[in-house]
Structure 1
Amino acid sequence: MKWNTLAGATLILLAVLIQPGVSLGATPAKPATVRVQLQDLPLLDQDGRQLRFKSDVIGDRLVAITFTYTTCTTICPILDSIFVKLQDKLPGRLGKDIFLVTVSIDPVNDIPPRLKSYAGKLKAKPGWSFMTGNKVNVDKVLVGLDMFSADILNHTPSILVGDGKSGVWRRFYGFPSADKLLAALNELSSARSR
């Protein structure tokens, strides 16, 4: 059983990596600027606090958002490791002017205690929120971010970087480096002072 899981995960990872422009170290030259519809629906964070996605989680903040689930063994650990590296590049900024958000695409199973444990395994620091909640609300949030997938096993590796204040959002497909994400966040931050 374990061999089949490992073999399947390896095949999926290889299939993702041979896509044009996708590798662990490279991403397409420019992220796509996208329109998102932030839903102001109540979700739950890893501490069980009810927060409205648009007004409480995003607000006027500079944010990077990833989409994973705790039992994923294929692309999610890679996306999570990118966020771990990104948080380490934000000393003094994480939770102050830049926020990280992970939205579970499996809200039925990823209840707050499970997300809290998962955040602990990743050594997530304050300023990195893990969101779940009522499946209907989570699905609506995912639809608004163009990240809904009826089959969570086949979700697209994608990270959104945006400015809740200006409404400018960029989507990185695949596995962008933490440095690329940080550069995009810094660019959005600089645009605020112009």
Structure 2
Amino acid sequence: MSGRLASLLLAALLSCPAQSHDAPHNQRLPVIRTAPDFTLTSQDGNRVSLHDFRGKAVAVTFIFASCTDTCPLLTDNMARVQDKLGSVFGSKVAFVSITVDPERDTPEALKQYAQNFGANLKGWAFLTGDPVVIREVERKYGVFAKKTASGDIDHTFLTSLIDPKGNLRVQYLGVRFDLEEFRGDLLKLLDEAE
């Protein structure tokens, strides 16, 4: 990670109202704020908004398809959780992966990326859009992205959990978070809604 990105990350953590996951297993996850809505374009070319997922627990991540470093690790982890969720995936739990490289990540590129990881597109949307709109979504979720001289993108890895009512509940920083805890938190948000 470059020093500049580390500085941006530190600034984001100090100024962002969101909290990382620290609730004991027997406590409710905190309500941070209403999750910022967005409308972007899916891997199938359809318009998708966050409010389309109301009634479901949603995990929002930020990736880019040509990444060869950390994005594949995060996406693979998410795919493993997708498989462990079984029948609730798609019907009650959804994943949304938003590109930080909208100039290169067309819907077709994102669809291929999704297929490479065995993403179940009945419950997982891969989104792109106008670069200005993408930057605004990144900002609202506390994600910073910067193109490097090599054309790669340095960005913060922040996975946000949103409850069925549309509230941002917790954010996981990085890609090496506990997948069972993550799955359990998604199910906990569903239990609250019943």
- Report the TM-score range of the alignment, normalised by the length of the smaller protein: 0.7 to 0.9
* Residue in 1 that maps onto 2:106: 111
**Alignment correspondent of 1:121:** 116
Whole-Å Cα distance in 2 between the matches of residues 146 and 124 of structure 1? 25
Q: Does 1:50 align with 2:54?
A: no
Instruction: Give the match for residue 192 of structure 1.
Output: 193
Query: Structure 1's 166 and 134: CA in aligned 2 closer, same or farther, altered over 3 A?
Result: closer
Q: Is the 8 A contact 1:39 1:144 kept in 2?
A: no
> Gapped runs of 5+ residues in structure 2?
7-19, 24-28
Per-residue CA distance 1:101-148 (angstroms, 9 max, x = gap)? 111111111010000111111111120110111111111111111113
Q: 2:41–2:47: 8 Å Cα contact kept in structure 1?
A: yes
Counterpart in 2 of 1:87?
Answer: 82
Runs of 4+ in 1 over 6 A off after TM superposition: none
Q: Which amino acid aligns with 2:44?
A: D
8 Å CA contact retained: 1:161, 1:185: yes
Contact 1:39–1:140 (8 Å) recurs in 2: no
Work out the CA distance in 1 between the residues paired with 2:107 and 2:168.
29
Q: Return the TM-score normalized by structure 1.
A: 0.76
**Residue of structure 2 aligned with 1:147, choices 136, 143, 146:** 143
Distance 2:90 2:107 in 1: 20
What number of residue pairs does the alignment pair up? 166
Alpha-carbon RMSD across the aligned residues, in angstroms, is 2.4
Alpha carbons 1:82, 1:177 under 8 Å: kept: no
The CA distance in 1 between the partners of 2:171 and 2:124, in whole Å, is 19
Structure 2 distance, partners of 1:35, 1:146, is 13
TM-score for the superposition, normalised by structure 2: 0.76
- Aligned letter for 1:39? D
Matches of 1:43 and 1:54, distance apart in 2: 9
1:1-194 correspondence runs (5 A): 30=22, 34-35=32-33, 37-40=35-38, 42-51=39-48, 53-56=49-52, 58-125=53-120, 126-151=122-147, 153-165=153-165, 167-174=167-174, 175-193=176-194
Q: Counterparts of 1:73 and 1:93 in 2: how far apart (Å)?
A: 30
Structure 1, unpaired ranges of 5+: 1-10, 17-27
SS in 2 for 1:150: strand
Query: For residues 61-95 of structure 1, what are the alpha-carbon distances to aligned partners after superposition, in whole Å with 9 as ceiling and x for unaligned?
Result: 21011111011111111101111111111111111
Letter of the 2:105 counterpart: D
Shift of the alpha carbon at 1:59?
A: 2.7
> Aligned partners of 1:60 and 1:140: how far apart in 2?
25
Asked if the contact 1:45–1:112 (Cα under 8 Å) also holds between the matched residues in 2, the reply is: yes
